[in-house]
Amino acid sequence: MSDTRLASSRSRFPRIRWVLVALTAVQFALLAFSAASMAARNIFYGCSALCDTGLRSVVPLIVTLFGVAMFVLPALIGMLSHTWKAAILLASAPWWAAVIVHSRSLLTPYIGLGASFGRFDAPFWLDISRAAQILVPLVLFATLGWLGWLAGSAWRAERTG
């Protein structure tokens, strides 16, 4: 790489770093909101508040945009990352943060108080039947970040010629 290209890539890197941090924060906010309590989720997933107003047709659009953002953000983060390791880390870090923030509701064991009084299930992360619920999103976000990095690397290579 010539000195001028190297210097210009170094001068752009701090701006891209802040964009990556902002995109990672937005992805975390979306993930944290999707794991929030039912009262908060009913705004988007249910129709409790918006269906009684003239905004009834906006609810499916909001949910669709929310779902698209969940797939686009990790790929965009990967596309802007300079290494595949950073792409995978930054694309999956918001998922880890959302799991930690909501660990009280996502990772706690079920305590049955009905017919099976006093029954304690295994903690969520130790129950093999529920392991896919933790691992599949992690693999999905890491894969989207890596695929975004591949696309970004190909685009950068094509652009620099």
CB distance 109 to 118 below 8 Å: no
CB distance 149 to 78 below 8 Å: yes
Quick one: pLDDT band at residue 155, thresholds 50, 70, 90? Answer: very high
Cα 54 to Cα 58: distance, rounded to the nearest angstrom: 9
CB distance 20 to 81 below 8 Å: yes
Q: What is the pLDDT of residues 84-120, one digit of tens each?
A: 999 999 999 998 888 877 766 655 555 555 555 444 5
What's the mean pLDDT in 29-57? Answer: 63
Provide, rounded to the nearest whole percent, the portion of the chain with pLDDT above 90. 30
Q: pTM for the whole thing?
A: 0.70
Cα 24 to Cα 56: distance, rounded to the nearest angstrom: 30
pLDDT at 45: 59
Q: How far is CA 116 from CA 109, 110, 120, 124, 129, in A?
A: 14, 11, 9, 18, 19
What's the mean pLDDT in 124-131? Answer: 64
Higher-pLDDT residue of 147 and 47 is: 147
Cα 143 to Cα 74: distance, rounded to the nearest angstrom: 9
CB distance 78 to 145 below 8 Å: yes
* Window from 31-35, 60-64, 102-106, 147-151 with minimum mean pLDDT: 102-106
